[in-house]
Amino acid sequence: MDGSYKEKDRLTGILTREYFDASAKEIIDDNPDIDFTIIEIDINRLNVINELYGVSEGDNVLKYMGSTLEEVFESVPFSIYARLQADLFVILCPDDNIKIGTYIEEIEQKFKEYSRILNIDILLSFGVYECIERGVALQILRDRAKLALKTVKGNYIQHVNYYDSSMYDRMAGEQEIVLNMNSALKNREFEVYFQPKHSLDDDRIIGAEALVRWISPDRGMISPGVFIPIFEENGFIMKLDQYVWEETCSFIHEQMEAGVNIMPVSVNISRINIYNPELVDIFSHLVTKYNIPSEMLELEFTESAYVDNPQLMLQIMEQLHALGFKIEMDDFGAGYSSLNMLKDVPVDVLKIDLNFLSKTSHPDKAFTIMSSVIRMAKWLGINSIVEGVETEEQIEFLKSIGATSVQGYFYSKPIPAGDFVEYIKKYDVRTVNAKKEELHSSIKVLEINQVWDMIKSTRSEEFPIFDTFGLYEYHDKHVELVRVPDSYFKVLRTDREKQYKITDSIEDNIFPEDVELLHDMFEKASTGHHMSQGIFRRKTDDGLMYLYAKVRLLGINSTGNSKMFYMGMIDMSDTIRRLGLEN
């Protein structure tokens, strides 16, 4: 064996890739009567472990893999194992389907125990190439095991796969895509399509998402599901992303110049672009170059990208937010730290995939979770968009849980730019806005955060100091609590957790005979700027309390066409009981 190879990996103490290839070739050549198998193992999301627990803990995971392989295969004749690179390991061992399965189970079991001890979720993926061909370079044999590995990497359900010839065919197809990607970009074979986003309240279009399509002169339309994963792996997605961003900004500029009532368009930012040190400058340059307001270009990050590198993502989001860009969090709920993420990052919109409901054996729980997420977003002053909406039944369900915005085939599939312009004219929001202005000429359209800040800072007769107050939405004979201060829970003899758990509809806590009175107060207040007032009874754990309230119309909620109200309340229970006015 060539002594120039470095035998042992410095960190794990097992063989290096070069030494493995040379040694494995000798073992295969010296044992022509034995069939061999190659197994490749990937430790998923090692970078997350490094981020959350430190690089030293990540190194410990790699060392543990080295010692695990040594323990499992040290007594297996004609076997050899090595660390290929970073978090990728390889094994050569005699081919035996039953024993191969046993080896994999042993490795997984040891890592489950390791995960429990350290409270770290470690996911392993395995690619297996059985009965390897002789006379083929070790790198090619490893590549075939790696092909099988790639099909299950990151999959929490299936984590082992075996190589077959169809994978080679797919690899050949991938290679063709790689060979043609640069010329396709140069020849503008990539085209930006737009999928509209709609308000559920009145069907109006509120924006769109820019999506890329590859229209090849030879192969026709190539599915994004085919080329996007390849580009994400080889890094070409960085160029394609920037192409889509530029095309989108150019489109927005052209429509603004033509007088088209264009709405904000969101663009996707692939995970690898998060590490582009020029990312913020690129977007700043684009809106300047095309003379468009930054709020016309909304930026979609995936939650999984945040999980990969939360500190970097937070830094980038804050810089973009400071420049006026709105931030959308795509695939919300698909990651592993959703609630933790929401408390830290400046997110304006959550995008929730309706397929979340179909990917479970517990649909009732899924409905409850989706409803809670939408409600939580409202309480935090964050808009939400449900994507993947295809049927009337789904629309009705989403309306019933308080969703306000959707995207999906029910309204439109992604369409070319020209078709999208015609689509905009069909749903021209100026018509809707004109009607809104006619009905509410003195009412402003307000952001929840804006209203909240105004209420907290105002000390005038219009907004007197009550025992407590709240911000509410009212539509279709339904009062919904949007945001309240801490005093709300103290005065109304409840707590935040209990209130959130039960409902966001305050009617459920009102004495039944007084619900109509409450609705009348909001109806009267909605007709103008004057306050309506009244006394209603609220149910508590120890009986009834009497609340004197004043309701004031604030404006039209920016997430839809429902109205926003301020309601201040004073607890009159002791006074009414002292005067004997209970009824």
Domain boundaries, the chain: 15-163, 172-437, 440-578
**At residue 341, does pLDDT exceed 90?**
no
What mean pLDDT, rounded, does the chain reach? 83
Q: Which range scores top for mean pLDDT: 195-199, 549-553, 573-577? A: 195-199
Q: What percent of the chain has pLDDT over 90?
A: 43
Q: What is the CATH number of domain 172-437?
A: 3.20.20.450
Of the candidate ranges 260-264, 482-486, 523-527, the one whose mean pLDDT is the lowest: 482-486
Which of 3 and 415 is assigned the larger pLDDT? 415
Which of 556 and 454 is assigned the larger pLDDT? 556
- Residues 458 and 461: their CA atoms lie apart, in Å, by 9
Average pLDDT over residues 426-437: 50
Of the candidate ranges 187-196, 255-264, 368-377, the one whose mean pLDDT is the lowest: 368-377
Which of 119 and 130 is assigned the larger pLDDT? 130
Identify residue 310 by its one-letter amino acid code.
P
Average pLDDT over residues 225-246: 92
Measured CA distances, 216 to 242, 291, 442 (Å):
20, 32, 53
Q: How confident is the model at residue 396 (pLDDT cuts 50, 70, 90)?
A: confident
User: How do 160-162 and 383-387 pair as beta strands?
Assistant: unpaired
Which of 582 and 287 is assigned the larger pLDDT? 287
User: Would the pTM count as exceeding 0.85?
Assistant: no
- Could you name the CATH architecture of 440-578? 2-Layer Sandwich (3.30)
Q: How confident is the model at residue 541 (pLDDT cuts 50, 70, 90)?
A: confident
- Residues 23 and 132: their CA atoms lie apart, in Å, by 16
Separation of first and last alpha carbons in the chain:
98
Average pLDDT over residues 485-506: 68
Per-residue confidence (pLDDT) for residue 49, from 0 to 100: 82
- Residues 379 and 326: their CA atoms lie apart, in Å, by 18
* pLDDT digits 0-9 by tens, 63-103: 999 999 999 999 999 999 999 999 999 999 999 888 999 99
Per-residue confidence (pLDDT) for residue 59, from 0 to 100: 94
- Long-range pairs of 415-419 with CB within 8 A, sequence gap ≥ 24: 415/193, 415/194, 415/195, 416/191, 416/193, 416/194, 417/192, 417/193, 417/194, 417/251
Per-residue confidence (pLDDT) for residue 344, from 0 to 100: 73
Closest CA relative to residue 283, chosen from 261, 268, 303: 268
* pLDDT digits 0-9 by tens, 432-471: 444 334 333 333 444 455 555 555 554 344 455 678 888 8
Average pLDDT over residues 399-409: 86
**At residue 181, does pLDDT exceed 90?**
yes
Q: Which range scores top for mean pLDDT: 199-208, 405-414, 420-429? A: 405-414
Does residue 421 sit in helix, strand or coil? Answer: helix
Does residue 43 sit in helix, strand or coil? Answer: strand
Q: Which range scores top for mean pLDDT: 258-262, 266-270, 393-397, 502-506? A: 266-270
Q: Estimate to the nearest angstrom the gap between the alpha carbon of 290 and the chain centroid.
A: 29
Q: Which CATH superfamily is domain 15-163 in?
A: Reverse transcriptase/Diguanylate cyclase domain (3.30.70.270)
DSSP-assigned beta bridge partners for residue 563: 474, 556
- Residues 257 and 255: their CA atoms lie apart, in Å, by 5
* pLDDT digits 0-9 by tens, 353-377: 887 666 555 556 767 777 778 877 7
* pLDDT digits 0-9 by tens, 7-23: 899 999 999 999 999 99
Q: How confident is the model at residue 561 (pLDDT cuts 50, 70, 90)?
A: low
- Residues 153 and 150: their CA atoms lie apart, in Å, by 5
Average pLDDT over residues 300-311: 76
